[in-house]
Chains A and B, each alone.
Chain A
């Protein structure tokens, strides 16, 4: 008995050592893989060719892309598999060529695109709105300027009865309550759009820049649009920022904003659409455009485009064309679906520009992939 237990111990040790060695090898091999991936061909699983388009990225456009996907599948039998893993994940995935396209709420700068061999285009536009919970204040009644919003979010204004707020809001009864500032606790494209607006429209007050996550000097963080919406809805005296669809669907009270032309505007698909229409896409290198604080008398100032990113060099012409056909259909026929889900479709003239960039930039073995 004793002898055999010693033998067992020896066998167990040996087995453990072998397994560890295998594991160590696997680790090293994985490491090599990750670095060598850039030079390999498309890593898209071979099983999912041609009749499935694989994408990953931003969660903001997910409802729209999945609606488009199911409509397109009904029409053409081509499936769209879009995983909403976040913009960062989408950029990593398309850089590593594990998907056909990536989605991001923040555009990449032209130099970053060049480095990764990618091109990008805007696919849809959405708006971010400010929502409040104040007794007696009705939807789109409260008026805020970029400067006021910036001061609330950096803690300079901390009570609703602040004279600066009252000055813009004649006839609105503002209570003597502490302002409950709510921001996102997860890093997100919504925060990126919102803080870029503050930086662009109130740069002298807002010094924290525009990014997906911010070193917030005040306030509490809610997880996701749903977390921010829920806390604003439940806690009196709150202010938060959410995507328009969340505000609309949860019946939250949104505010007016003063836009770049100095006009008061209410959030709606029309005012968001003005931002997309006024934007100078033709003058933007690689479509790198931050859509906040755009000119125009009826333009909503906090809008953002959601971008699609693809590899410039396409390994498989068939897959590339199947994907572009889907986006072509979405641009031409998908506007109704987009508006139904509170997204602003890309104007037709911008799509023409996008198509010309497709034929200019997307290559497979030296010849252009688009037009078919």
Chain B
């Protein structure tokens, strides 16, 4: 997220001369008041983060002390059978997210390039608005669309097609032990996630591509570069850190998406999916599906423990993204 913010430090505060020119009253009260207000608002974000982490740790303490780190390596979530494990959900989260990103990132990039470089602005505006509207659709709608349209399509068309061809022999496509026709599956959930994150990645990528200075591109054309050369040697390279930032925004959404996935992934909590066509579960959807009827203290605590893990994962990704971006900024030079 912060990849998109502009480094404001050098410009912070008004120029010295400007302060003198401002009316005295403003200088005395306006600035300090605004500073305090801004500071409180800024700190409240940090406080919200700490509070959230604190509440998660506090409420999951029963499970943390009872289950420890073996929670992460135990496969099955089956409180009824006495097994508290997050591995199946972790694996499902990773698989659905990877499917979503593998589909969404290249597609979003191509669309962003199309919008910024290849079509006239008027056409770009129409397509761009359409994509932004896609971002405004609530996730439950995607869940229902998946349930009524995509699940039968995957089960009756796609899965049989894959299973009957040589593709069905490949690992990750070969049906696993929990295979149930392929409608409710990791792949279906991943496809819907791809559609859900696509508008975010596209919109942010388009915005950073629009920030590529025109003169630089024109210089490229002036040197006799083809459109393709300008696209991948100048525009993409210039916008790279922003595009990575956009990708992480999409990744964060895919990792945490709950409702749509809960309807589509098949709710199978016992094993790590062996195939993309197997049903599975994700951390967020498992919490949503199990929280309603969780009664014992350990059940509730273990679910919150899972929430804490998801929280930690997204934090780690954010930090990694920051580090990567800082390095990218240094090597490409300037704010590229």
Contacts and interface: CB of A to CB of B under 8 A. Distances in A.
A216 B184 contact: no
Given A92-B295, A186-B290, A187-B294, 19 more contacts: A11-B39, A27-B55, A27-B58, A31-B58, A89-B292, A178-B181, A180-B180, A187-B290, A209-B80, A215-B76, A215-B83, A216-B270, A220-B180, A220-B184, A221-B279, A223-B267, A234-B183, A235-B151, A235-B181
Interface stretch (A16-24, A46-54, A159-167, A270-278): A16-24
Interface stretch (A80-88, A134-142, A326-334): A80-88
A19 B180 contact: no
Interface residues of B, number: 44
10 contacts: A24-B54, A27-B55, A86-B292, A184-B267, A185-B268, A187-B294, A211-B80, A221-B268, A222-B267, A230-B148
Interface stretch (B44-52, B107-115, B203-211, B318-326): B44-52
Given A12-B39, A15-B43, A16-B43, A187 B293 contact: yes
B80 A186 contact: no
B81 A88 contact: no
Interface in A167-212: 178, 180-181, 184-189, 209, 211-212
A19 B43 contact: yes
A188 B291 CA distance: 10
Nearest to A85: B292
Given A214-B80, A223-B262, A227-B147, A12 B289 contact: no
B266 interface: yes
A213 B279 contact: no
Interface string A85-108: 111110110000000000000000
Interface string B31-63: 000010001100100110011001100100000
A219 interface: yes
B58 A215 contact: no
Nearest to A112: B295
Interface in A211-261: 211-216, 218-223, 227, 230-231, 234-236
A16 B48 CA distance: 12
A214, A220, A231 — which one has the most chain B CB atoms within 10 A of its CB?
A220
A115 interface: no
A372 interface: no
B54 A23 contact: yes
A1 interface: yes
Contacts of B290: 186-187, 213
Interface string A13-44: 00110011001100100010000000000000
Contacts of B55: 27
Contact of B43 (A8, A12, A184, A186): A12
B142 interface: no
Contact of A88 (B51, B155, B266, B295): B295
B293 A188 contact: yes
B263 interface: yes
7 shortest A-B CB distances, which residue pairs? A185-B267, A221-B267, A86-B292, A187-B293, A88-B293, A186-B289, A220-B184
Nearest to A92: B295
Interface of B: 13, 35, 39-40, 43, 46-47, 50-51, 54-55, 58, 76, 78-81, 83, 147-148, 151-152, 155-156, 178, 180-181, 183-184, 262-263, 266-268, 270, 279, 281, 288-290, 292-295
B158 to A, nearest CB: 13
A2 B148 CA distance: 61
Contacts of A19: 43, 47
B184 A221 contact: yes
Nearest to B76: A215
A227 B270 contact: no
Contacts of A88: 292-295
Contact of A91 (B39, B279, B295): B295
Contacts of B151: 231, 234-235
A370 B184 CA distance: 51
B147 A230 contact: yes
Given A12-B39, A19-B47, A227-B263, A220 B294 contact: no
A19 B44 CA distance: 9
A124 B279 CA distance: 35
A185 B294 contact: no
Contacts of A234: 148, 151-152, 183
A11 B39 CA distance: 10
